[in-house]
């Protein structure tokens, strides 16, 4: 399948950034990574979600739009395709789970104005991993502000993603069950994923696969 714009997504701790980096290195693809660490509201949000959820999500919305608009508006002659570790729709999925109804309604108005103008990926890959495994990965990387992440929060985020997937008719969404995969330490697992992404044909809508 011809891919010019590939998105690797997943819940917090699913390994989306690592996989995007590995794909970029293997295929010499242009890499676009979310600059989440630059958001000044992120540590405050995990300590007090109710107070800081709206400024956090608005800051993410602005940063994601600016970055994707900048990175995707120019074709890179030296790269065969672009791979990113997030998609703009992520903004709405997380906001739906963090904002109060009145805040979310206001946020969605801003989001809708922007979303229709954003490029759509040729393939959207979602790495699905159970919450307990996600928590283990989060603990390993040792970010102080992530110690406040709970299993319940991760489950709500996953529900938001799958609710979004059920509504999709115009995107090619590939959901990969990655519970038993270790593509970082097992080259054969990495090959399974890349062979599936680049050698298989996917119709619009959602395709779910189990790689073991």
In the chain, what are the domains?
Answer: 5-210 (3.40.50.300)
pLDDT of residue 152: 94
Give me the mean pLDDT over the 26-51 stretch: 86
pLDDT score recorded for residue 54: 95
| Confidence at residue 205, expressed as pLDDT on a 0 to 100 scale | 92
Q: pLDDT above 70 covers what percent of the chain?
A: 98
Catalytic residue among 38, 85, 132, 212: 85
Catalytic residue status for 130: no
Closest Cα to residue 125, out of 169, 91, 85, 155? 85
Report yes or no on whether pTM surpasses 0.85. Answer: yes
Rounding to the nearest 10 degrees, give the CA dihedral for residues 43, 47, 48, 52.
0
Containing 110, the helix (H) or strand (E) segment is: helix 101-115
The pair of structure tokens assigned to 211 is 């790689």
Please enumerate in sequence order all residues whose Cβ is within 8 A of that of 52, keeping only pairs 6 or more positions apart, or say none.
41, 44, 45
C-alpha Rg value of the chain to the nearest Å: 17
Mean pLDDT of the chain: 91
| Greater pLDDT, 148 or 127 | 127
């Amino acid at each position: 399948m011809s891919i010019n714009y590939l998105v690797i997504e997943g819940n917090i701790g699913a390994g989306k950034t690592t996989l995007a980096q590995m794909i970029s290195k293997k295929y010499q693809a242009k890499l676009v990574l979310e600059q989440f660490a630059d958001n000044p509201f992120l540590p405050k949000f995990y300590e007090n979600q109710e107070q800081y959820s709206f400024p956090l999500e608005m800051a993410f919305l602005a940063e994601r739009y600016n970055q994707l608009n900048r990175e995707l508006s120019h074709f890179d002659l030296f790269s065969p395709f672009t791979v990113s570790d997030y998609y703009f729709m992520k903004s709405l999925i997380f906001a739906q789970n963090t904002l109060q109804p009145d805040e979310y309604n206001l946020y969605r108005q801003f989001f809708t104005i922007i979303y229709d103008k954003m490029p759509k990926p040729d393939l959207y890959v979602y790495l699905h991993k159970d919450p307990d495994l996600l928590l283990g990965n989060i603990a390993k990387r040792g970010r102080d502000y992530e110690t406040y992440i709970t299993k319940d929060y991760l489950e709500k985020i996953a529900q938001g993603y799958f609710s979004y997937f059920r509504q999709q008719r115009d995107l090619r969404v590939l959901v990969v069950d990655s519970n038993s995969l270790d593509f970082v330490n097992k080259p054969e697992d990495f090959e399974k994923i890349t062979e599936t992404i680049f050698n298989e044909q996917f119709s619009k809508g959602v395709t779910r696969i189990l790689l073991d």
